[in-house]
Amino acid sequence: MKKDQSPDKRSRPQGTDTQTTWQPRRNWGARQIGTFVPTLTKTAFRKKSPLLVRLMMDWENFVGLRLARQTEPRRLSAGTLTIACSGPIAMELQHLTPQLLERINTACGLRGESSIQRLRIVQDMTAFERPARPRPKPCPVEVPEVEDEELRAALERLGGHIGARRRR
């Protein structure tokens, strides 16, 4: 029997066998972004579930602007949503529990065993800061002796801000 002396066999290093070392075919073409999402979000979803993240993002739509300023979803486990709130709002949340559960489950498409069945209300004021007092608006200061209009406008704005800072 004669050995095959083709050029591709001679250039191969000894001891490598193409039949035993299989490598997957690589596709270097364009891929859809959706194929990367599961691998990129796996670590983030271990810490917080996608449903809890959605609740945090759309919380104002579920409970309304007034309650959203004083409440915050904290945890979601085993059909129980934990909400942090201030003391007086806890009673109102307890009263609104059936409506909130219905809104959340409907908006998130949850039914049956996968739905949120209970709200756990935790009174916690540490998460809520009082709104900052609004800064006083600067009073316009006139600088009539400057000829250049752009420079005069800049000096008037600067003078107004300096005066507002002194009034604080």
Give the residue with greater pLDDT, 132 vs 4. 132
**Per-residue pLDDT tens for 65-103?**
888 888 888 888 888 888 888 878 888 888 988 998 888
Average pLDDT of the chain? 76
Contact 118, 76 (CB under 8 A): no
Give the span between the Cα atoms of 161 and 159, in whole angstroms. 5
